[in-house]
Structure 1
Amino acid sequence: MKTPTTLAVLLLALVVAACGGASDEAGTSSDAPKAAGGGASAKLSLVAYSVPKPGFDKVIPLFEKTPAGKGVTFSASYGASGDQSRKVESGLPTDVVSFSLEPDVTRLVKSGQVDDNWNQNEHKGIPFWSVVTIVTRKGNPKHITTWDDLLKPGVEVVTPNPFSSGSAKWNLLAPYADKSDGGKNPQAGLDYLSKLIGDHIKVQPKSGREATETFLQGTGDVLLSYENEALFNERAGEDIEHHTPAHTFKIENPVAVVNTSKHKAQAQAFLDFMYSPEGQTAWAEAGFRPVDTTVFDKFTADFPAPEKLWTIDDLGGWSKVNDELFDPDNGSVAKIYNKATS
């Protein structure tokens, strides 16, 4: 004989079974909780290199106001690009990655965490770009505007460590490409880097953002950096100015969806939004060069065209560059750093 309490428990169990529970994997199940706008709610984890935070601070709120972004919230982690990539490779739960350079995404392609077609869109997986620039104290007291000026006696240069930071690799590739004539004379490029690294780089912060903070705190005469980082800090009122050499390097920063994401549809919608006119405008306002030429044309005053813009393709692509220059054991740049610190 069933007691009233027993009957109540059975009835409650039947009601729960009939209704079904909400999935813990929002966006992958029809039972995912629904946002007010009708879309599935999700919290996306963004793992990024340190410098684009001002851009994401603009882009994310705009996306959350779109129909595709209704109910989507974000957690974000920023740090040195190589370190961030290795954390994701080691299992850090992630939905979207934004790295300084392509090899940090390639690492996740090799681990099976990013699809190998991640860069097959019109812009090759690059929603925004920048150029390598020279940042000095306000008034440029040492008159530093060119790569040769960095080698003046007594000039101290701040740039991150190339074995943790993507920014550092871009910073070194700019004068290397110029001095080697796009890799045609690699020894000339290496001779320049030997002087720069051995005589003028005294500190090696882990990331581009840490390098900026080190410089702003008074270390060094020159900071090598992304143009967008320089613009951000100038607009914030820091006592600095930037001078982009006539011959510099195109910085292409990839963004990709992680294929193990529990919210892959929302993650892809967020990535797609970055390429939209609204998303591209937000990136431009944050100091990044948009890949949408229509949007770019509205910001040409902020982004002057260099006389010569070297690219990674001019040097044979990332696979060649990483092996020949930045391999920790056998790369030419690695050997220069080892010699300088020995």
Structure 2
Amino acid sequence: MRRLRTTITLAAAAAATALVLTACAPTAVDGSRGGDASGDAGSDVEPTTLSLVGFAVPKAGNDAAQELWGETEDGQGVTWETSYGASGDQSRAVADGLEADYVHFSLEGDVTRLVDAGLVAEDWNAGENNGIVSQSVVVLVVREGNPKNIQSWEDIVQPGVEIVTPNPGSSGSARWNILAGWGSVIANGGSEEDATEYLRKFFTNAVALPGSGRDATTAFTSGTGDVLLSYENEAILARQNGETFDYVVPDQTLLIENPAAVTVDADPKAQSYLDFVLTPEGQEAFAHVGFRPLTGDVDFEVEGANDPSDPFPTVPTLLTIADDFGGWSATNDTFFGDEGLVTKIQAETGKQ
């Protein structure tokens, strides 16, 4: 396996700097998208343009993987048009007509929406990885030096602690965060009633509910709140780009699994890119910007991690949607539907 070049890592981090510090909104259906070049088309290579629509968080990973894939035979001559924003908003935009060859979302439901619309094949998740291409864990991002000594999920719902997390109405990242908090109560022996009361305290302490995970990071780095609920990779990437906050990996947290798929009318090269992302080299590209690789442990340092030589520590109690919540179909209805628990608590607390 070719080692991921340092230049790739630095380029991906630099490209993501503006996104860490600036909100990223979904692109309009009129096609006014940003472009990322991948590969140098020679005179004997027919140029191809692929459209990627995704949630904001994995942009740096995709940028790095696209550059490496651009060096392969299939990737040569490919130019990328990309649109990044909040996962739910991006999924709805594709369903409404935004062109996409390859989609990369936060939640399974954002892909199944496109299956229902006839835009993605029903067997999109039939492979060994069940459609998952990137993974991380929910962490607690705190101010430098951790002045409030936040170490656990219980600490963030104490009086006077200000929470920043994206809004579950638009952001898949938010749903992972909220379920991680709920799950920590159950994992510690609490009842569902205890977990429900936990969420009431959680939303009472929420001082900002931005539209996406990336917007939440921007709010926190701009000075809002005491603790940011985030993907581990978001914390690592921000530190790679010069942010000075700390982050805590709780003893109980949730494994974040992000799906990707090609659309039914996609150029065949889109499938080639998806296949590449799942290779050890593709996963290494994502690992260098903070994602936990699907292919196992890493044997290289990851800048920005708490311990670069051991960037992805084992979590004592790692919850999953499948094993601990019964899958996304039931979970979405129970927690985030019109009559869902979280929906009701947001209304009760005025944090919608």
TM-score category, normalised to shorter length:
0.7 to 0.9
Counterpart selection for 1:206 from 207, 211, 230: 211
The letter of the residue matching 1:323 is: D
Do structure 1's residue 333 and structure 2's residue 339 form an aligned pair? no
Residues 17-65 of structure 1, C-alpha deviations (whole Å, 9 max, x = no match): xxxxxxxxxxxxxxxxxx5386543111100101111111211111111
Tell me the distance in 2 between the aligned counterparts of 1:38 and 1:133: 48
Secondary structure of 1:180's aligned partner = helix
Larger radius of gyration: 1
Counterpart selection for 1:246 from 242, 247, 251: 251
Q: Show the counterpart of 2:227.
A: 222
- Written as runs of structure 1 = structure 2, the 5 A alignment for 1:1-342 is 36=42, 40-181=46-187, 185-197=191-203, 199-261=204-266, 263=267, 265-293=268-296, 296=298, 301-313=310-322, 314-327=324-337, 329-341=338-350
Compute the displacement of 1:260 (Å): 2.5
Tell me the distance in 2 between the aligned counterparts of 1:102 and 1:38: 39
Compute the displacement of 1:188 (Å): 2.1
Compute the displacement of 1:339 (Å): 1.1
Farther-moved stretch of structure 1 (306-315 vs 172-181)? 172-181
Tell me the distance in 2 between the aligned counterparts of 1:270 and 1:37: 22
Tell me the distance in 1 between the aligned counterparts of 2:255 and 2:112: 19
Over aligned residue pairs, what C-alpha RMSD do you find?
1.7
Tell me the distance in 2 between the aligned counterparts of 1:182 and 1:77: 40
Farther-moved stretch of structure 1 (313-322 vs 296-305)? 296-305
Tell me the distance in 2 between the aligned counterparts of 1:66 and 1:173: 39
Q: 8 Å contact 1:37–1:67 — kept in the other structure?
A: no
Q: 8 Å contact 1:158–1:204 — kept in the other structure?
A: yes
Q: 8 Å contact 1:37–1:70 — kept in the other structure?
A: no
Compute the displacement of 1:184 (Å): 8.5
Tell me the distance in 1 between the aligned counterparts of 2:179 and 2:45: 44
Q: 8 Å contact 1:158–1:211 — kept in the other structure?
A: yes
Q: Show the counterpart of 1:26.
A: none
Tell me the distance in 1 between the aligned counterparts of 2:339 and 2:277: 38
Secondary structure of 2:207's aligned partner = strand
Change in Cα spacing, 1:38 to 1:277, as seen in structure 2 (3 Å) is: farther
Question: TM-score, normalization: structure 1?
Answer: 0.85
Tell me the distance in 1 between the aligned counterparts of 2:188 and 2:75: 43
Tell me the distance in 2 between the aligned counterparts of 1:304 and 1:143: 20
The letter of the residue matching 2:279 is: S
Q: 8 Å contact 1:182–1:315 — kept in the other structure?
A: no
Residues 90-111 of structure 1, C-alpha deviations (whole Å, 9 max, x = no match): 0111100000111100111111
The letter of the residue matching 1:271 is: L
Question: TM-score, normalization: structure 2?
Answer: 0.83
Change in Cα spacing, 1:183 to 1:95, as seen in structure 2 (3 Å) is: farther
Q: 8 Å contact 1:37–1:71 — kept in the other structure?
A: no
How many residues were matched structurally? 303
Farther-moved stretch of structure 1 (241-250 vs 117-126)? 117-126
Unaligned runs of 5+ in 2: 1-40, 302-308
Q: 8 Å contact 1:182–1:310 — kept in the other structure?
A: no
Tell me the distance in 2 between the aligned counterparts of 1:144 and 1:137: 10
Compute the displacement of 1:289 (Å): 0.7
Q: 8 Å contact 1:135–1:243 — kept in the other structure?
A: yes
The letter of the residue matching 1:315 is: F
Compute the displacement of 1:193 (Å): 0.5
Tell me the distance in 2 between the aligned counterparts of 1:284 and 1:103: 25
Tell me the distance in 1 between the aligned counterparts of 2:189 and 2:135: 22
Change in Cα spacing, 1:245 to 1:220, as seen in structure 2 (3 Å) is: same
Residues 92-136 of structure 1, C-alpha deviations (whole Å, 9 max, x = no match): 111000001111001111111111111111111112200000000
Unaligned runs of 5+ in 1: 1-34
The letter of the residue matching 1:221 is: D
Tell me the distance in 1 between the aligned counterparts of 2:43 and 2:343: 52
Compute the displacement of 1:296 (Å): 3.9
Secondary structure of 2:74's aligned partner = helix
Tell me the distance in 2 between the aligned counterparts of 1:40 and 1:325: 48
Tell me the distance in 1 between the aligned counterparts of 2:43 and 2:194: 59
Residues 168-192 of structure 1, C-alpha deviations (whole Å, 9 max, x = no match): 0000010101212399832222111
The letter of the residue matching 1:149 is: D
